[in-house]
Amino acid sequence: MDKIGGTWKMPILWRLKDKTMRYNELMKSMPKITHKMLTTSLRDLEKDGFVFRNVYPVVPPKVEYSLTERGKEAIKIIDYIRNYGISLMKEYGINDVN
Protein backbone atom coordinates (compact mmCIF):
# COMPACT_ATOMS: atom_id res chain seq x y z
CA MET A 1 0.00 0.00 0.00
CA ASP A 2 2.98 2.34 0.38
CA LYS A 3 3.32 2.55 -3.37
CA ILE A 4 -0.29 3.64 -4.05
CA GLY A 5 -1.24 5.09 -0.66
CA GLY A 6 -1.43 8.70 0.32
CA THR A 7 -3.85 11.41 -0.66
CA TRP A 8 -3.34 11.60 -4.41
CA LYS A 9 -1.93 8.40 -5.92
CA MET A 10 -5.16 6.40 -5.93
CA PRO A 11 -7.20 9.28 -7.40
CA ILE A 12 -4.58 9.70 -10.13
CA LEU A 13 -4.63 6.00 -10.96
CA TRP A 14 -8.45 6.00 -10.93
CA ARG A 15 -8.57 8.82 -13.47
CA LEU A 16 -6.17 6.94 -15.76
CA LYS A 17 -8.12 3.67 -15.58
CA ASP A 18 -10.10 4.25 -18.77
CA LYS A 19 -7.97 6.65 -20.78
CA THR A 20 -4.63 8.26 -21.40
CA MET A 21 -4.44 11.79 -20.03
CA ARG A 22 -2.16 14.78 -20.32
CA TYR A 23 -0.80 16.62 -17.28
CA ASN A 24 -3.25 19.54 -17.58
CA GLU A 25 -6.21 17.18 -17.92
CA LEU A 26 -5.21 15.49 -14.67
CA MET A 27 -4.70 18.87 -13.01
CA LYS A 28 -8.15 20.10 -14.05
CA SER A 29 -9.83 16.90 -12.90
CA MET A 30 -8.42 17.35 -9.37
CA PRO A 31 -8.87 21.04 -8.50
CA LYS A 32 -7.45 20.74 -4.97
CA ILE A 33 -4.10 19.20 -5.94
CA THR A 34 -1.07 21.45 -6.31
CA HIS A 35 1.29 21.32 -9.29
CA LYS A 36 4.08 20.11 -6.98
CA MET A 37 1.95 17.26 -5.55
CA LEU A 38 0.75 16.14 -8.98
CA THR A 39 4.28 16.18 -10.39
CA THR A 40 5.69 14.33 -7.37
CA SER A 41 2.91 11.74 -7.37
CA LEU A 42 3.23 11.10 -11.12
CA ARG A 43 7.01 10.69 -10.81
CA ASP A 44 6.59 8.24 -7.92
CA LEU A 45 3.95 6.25 -9.80
CA GLU A 46 6.16 6.15 -12.89
CA LYS A 47 9.24 5.12 -10.88
CA ASP A 48 7.25 2.32 -9.18
CA GLY A 49 5.91 1.02 -12.49
CA PHE A 50 2.24 1.98 -12.20
CA VAL A 51 2.19 4.76 -14.79
CA PHE A 52 3.80 5.09 -18.19
CA ARG A 53 4.95 8.56 -19.24
CA ASN A 54 5.05 9.07 -23.00
CA VAL A 55 6.94 12.16 -24.18
CA TYR A 56 6.39 13.24 -27.78
CA PRO A 57 9.30 15.08 -29.47
CA VAL A 58 7.28 18.14 -30.52
CA VAL A 59 7.25 21.82 -29.68
CA PRO A 60 5.60 22.62 -27.35
CA PRO A 61 6.30 19.38 -25.46
CA LYS A 62 3.47 16.86 -25.31
CA VAL A 63 3.43 14.38 -22.44
CA GLU A 64 0.76 11.74 -21.85
CA TYR A 65 0.24 9.41 -18.90
CA SER A 66 -1.34 5.97 -19.00
CA LEU A 67 -1.50 2.88 -16.81
CA THR A 68 0.97 0.05 -17.08
CA GLU A 69 -0.08 -3.55 -16.43
CA ARG A 70 0.89 -3.06 -12.79
CA GLY A 71 -1.30 0.05 -12.70
CA LYS A 72 -4.22 -1.90 -14.17
CA GLU A 73 -3.80 -4.53 -11.45
CA ALA A 74 -3.84 -1.79 -8.80
CA ILE A 75 -7.19 -0.57 -10.16
CA LYS A 76 -8.75 -3.86 -9.03
CA ILE A 77 -7.62 -3.16 -5.47
CA ILE A 78 -8.70 0.48 -5.61
CA ASP A 79 -12.12 -0.56 -6.93
CA TYR A 80 -12.52 -3.03 -4.06
CA ILE A 81 -11.57 -0.39 -1.48
CA ARG A 82 -13.91 2.13 -3.12
CA ASN A 83 -16.85 -0.29 -3.12
CA TYR A 84 -16.19 -1.17 0.51
CA GLY A 85 -16.17 2.53 1.43
CA ILE A 86 -19.44 3.10 -0.44
CA SER A 87 -21.09 0.20 1.38
CA LEU A 88 -19.91 1.60 4.75
CA MET A 89 -21.30 5.03 3.83
CA LYS A 90 -24.68 3.48 3.00
CA GLU A 91 -24.61 1.48 6.24
CA TYR A 92 -24.07 4.68 8.24
CA GLY A 93 -26.72 6.58 6.32
CA ILE A 94 -24.40 8.84 4.38
CA ASN A 95 -26.33 9.62 1.23
CA ASP A 96 -23.68 11.49 -0.78
CA VAL A 97 -22.51 8.36 -2.60
CA ASN A 98 -21.31 8.76 -6.20
Q: Which pLDDT score, from 0 to 100, does residue 69 have?
A: 97
Whether residue 57 contacts residue 75, with contact meaning beta carbons closer than 8 Å, is answered with no
Mean pLDDT rounded to a whole number for the chain:
93
CA–CA separation, 56 vs 18, rounded Å?
21
Which tens digits make up the pLDDT trace of 36-94? 999 999 999 999 999 999 999 999 889 999 999 999 999 999 999 999 999 999 999 88
Domain 9-91 classification at class level: mainly alpha
Domain ranges (residues) in the chain: 9-91
pLDDT band at 95 (very low <50, low <70, confident <90, very high): confident
pTM equals: 0.88
Q: Which pLDDT score, from 0 to 100, does residue 76 have?
A: 95
